[in-house]
Every structure is written in structure tokens, then in C-alpha cells.
Structure 1
Amino acid sequence: MVNLRDHIESNPDVMLGKPVIKGTRITVELLLRKLADGYDSGEILGMYPHLKREDISAAITYAALVIENEEVIKAA
């Protein structure tokens, strides 16, 4: 499993505090949208050559953990 702290950071001075790939302004959200739009990891790495495959894996893992810990409130 990827160590998220090695790849993901959140800083209020960078992209309004959204989680980004460490040392970049590339948000987890952007990577997830690219994947959802049908781009594969290789294509994304071609668009952003300074990224590593582990960065993309970390973004997916981060998103899964956020959803896993999301509180669901049943509507009345």
C-alpha cells in the first residue's frame, strides 16, 4: 500500500487547501476526474511527466479513505 504522506499534502496556501500531489499544484480531484473521463495512468503521466504512478495510486487511495470515513445521515 502507498504511504499517503509521501504523496499527498494539503496546505491552505496551495490550491485553497485542497489535497494535492506533494510538491505540485495537481489536485487529487483533477487526477480522479481524468481517470473518470477515461484517461489511463499512462496518459496522465504523459500529460504530467513529473508525476509518478505511485502519485496516481495515492490519489485513488486518498479518495477511497475519504469516502470510507464519510458520515452518512439517513434522510427522514
Structure 2
Amino acid sequence: MNPRLQISPAVCHGKPVIRGTRVLVSTILGAMSGGDSLETILEDYPSITAEDVAAALEFASRLSDYQISEYEAVA
């Protein structure tokens, strides 16, 4: 995982956050999917950087890159 991110049971109930903040990765992703620009997100969350946003996007990309395995039908 990217060192800019943190997953710890002691921080936000173990949800992924930007390290050193309580800004949830899901909050950043939700803002971006809602149409907020990078500039708007950085204004709304001054404790994070563009690199932090990129790390959140990379995390989401890797998380969604799962492999589908075919299975055999049982008769």
C-alpha cells in the first residue's frame, strides 16, 4: 500500500485515510466522482496534497482490479 495512506483500527474505525489526517479515502473518491476538481478538494481539505489524492485514486484502482475466476457448474 502507498505510504501516504493508513489503515488502522485506531483511526476512523480502520477505514483507509490519508496518513496523518482523518480524511477518508472514500471522501476524496466521493468528491471526485461528484465532479469536484482537484483544486476544490485541496481547498476543502488543506491538510492533504495532490500526491495524497493520487494515492487515494491508486488505492481505488488497485482495489477494483480483481480477477474473476471461472467456476465449474455442479450437475
Q: State the TM-score bracket (shorter-chain normalisation).
A: 0.7 to 0.9
Q: In structure 1, how many angstroms separate the alpha carbons of the residues matched to 2:55 and 2:37?
A: 15
In proportion to residue count, which structure has more helix? 1
The root-mean-square deviation of aligned C-alpha atoms, in Å, is 1.9
Instruction: Indicate the residue corresponding to 1:67 in structure 2.
Output: 64
2:41 matched to 1:44? yes
Question: Which structure ranks higher in relative contact order (CA pairs < 8 Å, sequence separation ≥ 6)?
Answer: 1
Shift of 1:73: 6.5
Aligned length: 72
* 2:10 aligned with 1:13: yes
**Letter aligned with residue 9 of structure 1:** Q
Counting aligned pairs with the same residue, the percent is: 32
The alignment partner of 2:48 has SS state of coil
**TM-score, normalised relative to structure 1:** 0.84
* Separation in 1, partners of 2:67, 2:14: 21
* 1:50 Cα deviation after fit: 1.5
Per the TM alignment, residue 47 of structure 1 is displaced from its structure 2 partner at its CA by: 0.5
Counterpart selection for 2:28 from 28, 31, 35: 31
CA distance in structure 2 between the aligned counterparts of 1:39 and 1:29, rounded to whole angstroms: 14
SS at match of 1:16: helix
Q: Runs of 5+ in structure 2 lacking a partner? A: none
Q: Flag the structure with larger Rg.
A: 2
TM-score normalised to structure 2 length: 0.85
